Structure 1
Amino acid sequence: MPSLILAIILAAVYALLRRRDPRMLRNGLVLVAACWFAIVGIVELLAARLPGFEWGVLGVIALTPLAVMVLGGFLVANGVAMLRNEGKSLGNLLSLVAGVAIFALPVMAVLLVLTLKPIAIGLAALLFFLSSYFGVVFVVFLAYAIVYARMKPQTNPDAVVVLGSQIINGSVPPLLRSRLDKALEVYRCASPAPLIIPTGGQGPNESRPEGEAMAEYLISAGAGEADVLAESKAENTAQNLLFAAKLASSHGRSGPLMVVTNNYHVLRAALLSRKLGIDAEVIGSPTALYFLPSAFLREFVAIINEHRVLHALMCLPFVGLTAVLTLTVMSAPL
């Protein structure tokens, strides 16, 4: 019962935080904690009422290493598919690297422990602590990214901002076309018609600015030419949001914005819009399933990098604990 009571309290806190501002990653932390304590509470109730139930739970826990190995195999296979379909790049290698790491890290930790050297054992412990920490952070990120992407937008936007991505041979590829089609869906359903702002500058491997190619697609797909205003200078997501917000305001659209991107990118775009002080909701368009694992990993790495000081501070206790364990082992009598 204490676990269920705590789950209910955390669920209420989550509802309050989400209502105040859904664009906060701490909402995901509270949500995951609420779900965890709810599961623990339900297991406790069933174990108290169903004889032998706890053995079933232990059996499920015993299968966890197998599930982790299956996950590693899936990520390796996905990484190979990404390289085959999307080409070689650091971003496309992420799922392959993550899959290999799932297999390699436990082996590395065991080999370190088998050396029986205190420093090596300490490194194995630190490896375990850091892997556990970033594993939990990733679960929080992924869970809330999925939840946020499924939230129904509440606003009737003054402007719809479409975040850019790479164009190919001057035209919009399927990934970007998905965003534009989603923006057109919002545009056709809104009344009065919002301004559509496709945003994106010209990258080194692009023949023209992304915003221009996107605007051309929108108009050819039925958007009114007067309702489309291209932004063609932005070089990253932050500039996409800032430049589009300024354009909207300069054209008398000072109300809330609707930002459209792909579903895997929704949470980071939302967090960034809040950080920049932009009144916006972010919605996602569909993405090819094989693309999602690497895409979510890329977003996770980007969020970790944006909050690297915070995560470094969060990891300091693990470093301290590892140092204490290492010193304890070194001082223990043989």
Structure 2
Amino acid sequence: MISLILAIVLGCVYVYLRRKDARMLRNGIVLVAACWFALLGITEILAQWFPWTDWIALGIVALSPFAIVVLAGFLISNGATMMRNEGRSLGNLLSLLAGVALLGLPVFALLLVMTLNPVAIGLAALLFFLCSYFGVVFVVFLAYAVAYGKMQHTMAPAAVVILGSQIINGKVPPLLRSRLDKGLEIYRESSTETAPLLIPSGGQGADESRPEGVAMAEYLVAAGAPQEHVVAEEQAVNTAQNLKFSAAVAHKEGRDGALVIVTNNYHVLRAALLSRKLGIDAQVVGSPTARYFLPSAFLREFVAILKEHKQLHAVMCIPFVALTALLTAAVIAASQ
């Protein structure tokens, strides 16, 4: 019962924090904690009513290693699909690398323990602690990325900013087309008197024949958007610049109200976090993405968020390093 009470309290806190500012990752921590206590509470009640459910819970725990192997196999298979369809860039290989790590790290840790060397065992323990920490952080990120991606925009935007991605042979590929179509959908939902400005945003990469913003603007106009309602941003080379430069375009065009930012569903949370960091009044919405693309895409976003908060995570890992060092030193001292 205590677990369910905690789940209800945390659920209320989550709703409050999300309404206060949905663009904060702490909301994901509260959401995952609420779900965890709700699961514990439901499990406790079922165990009281149906004692045999304890065996089901035990079976699930026992099958965890098998589930990890299945997950690793899925990630490796997805990595092969990504290489075949998208090329062999590091970003496209992330799901394959994650699958290999899921299989390889437990074996490596076991080999360290089998040496019976205190330092090696300490290293295995540290590996366990760090993997557990980053595993929990990934669950928080993924849960809230999905939850945020399901939210609908609740404002009448002054402008709709569509974040760019790589164009191919000067044309808009399917991934970027889904963003543009979502932007057009939001634009058409507005009344004629309050039609927002459409700002396709993206500069020219080294392997692109022209700026992404230009190709995106052409697509929007060809799809029926009035020319006077489309202003391209042509300089941005990353998400932060997309947001900053597009906000400047909106201001220059006299559109100083709130923005709706459109990107693919896997990218919404990081774009939202960045817009808040930059002080931009905005909501972020996501467009559909091919399913095979999602595992690597979410992993890539997770890595990007870790890099943006690397100092925080380094500090969070210090207790694990200190605890491992103390335990290893104690074992060495006791063996002498």
Same fold (TM over 0.5): yes
**Aligned AA for 2:69?**
M
Corresponding residue of 1:330: 332
Question: Are 1:172 and 2:172 an aligned pair?
Answer: yes
TM-superposed deviation, 1:251: 1.1
**Aligned AA for 1:172?**
V
Counterpart mapping for 1:131-170 below 5 A? 131-170=131-170
Corresponding residue of 1:245: 247
Corresponding residue of 1:48: 48
Secondary structure in 1 matching 2:162: strand
Q: 2:292 aligns with which of 263, 280, 290?
A: 290
Secondary structure in 2 matching 1:151: coil
TM-superposed deviation, 1:46: 1.1
Question: Are 1:309 and 2:282 an aligned pair?
Answer: no
> 1:56, 1:159 → 2: CA distance?
52
TM-superposed deviation, 1:333: 3.4
> 1:197, 1:294 → 2: CA distance?
28
Corresponding residue of 2:121: 121
Counterpart mapping for 1:250-289 below 5 A? 250-289=252-291
TM-superposed deviation, 1:51: 2.2
The alignment of Structure 1 onto Structure 2 pairs a total of residues equal to 334
**Aligned AA for 2:31?**
L
**Aligned AA for 1:222?**
G
- Percent sequence identity over matched residues? 69
Unpaired runs of at least 5, structure 2: none
> 1:139, 1:213 → 2: CA distance?
36
> 2:73, 2:249 → 1: CA distance?
46
Secondary structure in 2 matching 1:277: coil
Secondary structure in 2 matching 1:252: coil
Unpaired runs of at least 5, structure 1: none
Q: CA RMSD in A?
A: 0.8
Secondary structure in 2 matching 1:152: coil
Corresponding residue of 1:221: 223
Secondary structure in 1 matching 2:262: strand
**Aligned AA for 1:231?**
E
**Aligned AA for 1:249?**
H
**Aligned AA for 1:304?**
L
Secondary structure in 2 matching 1:332: helix
> 1:51, 1:235 → 2: CA distance?
58
Deviations 1:259-317 (A, max 9, x none): 00000000000000000000000000000000000000000000000000000000000
> 2:89, 2:105 → 1: CA distance?
23
Corresponding residue of 1:39: 39
**Aligned AA for 1:132?**
S
Q: Give the TM-score normalised by structure 1.
A: 0.99
Secondary structure in 1 matching 2:188: helix
> 2:68, 2:246 → 1: CA distance?
42
TM-superposed deviation, 1:332: 2.0
**Aligned AA for 2:35?**
C
Secondary structure in 2 matching 1:116: coil
Corresponding residue of 1:10: 10
TM-superposed deviation, 1:127: 0.4
> 1:272, 1:51 → 2: CA distance?
48
Corresponding residue of 1:76: 76
Following TM superposition, the consecutive aligned residue runs of length 4 or more in structure 1 with deviations greater than 3 angstroms are none
**Aligned AA for 1:22?**
A
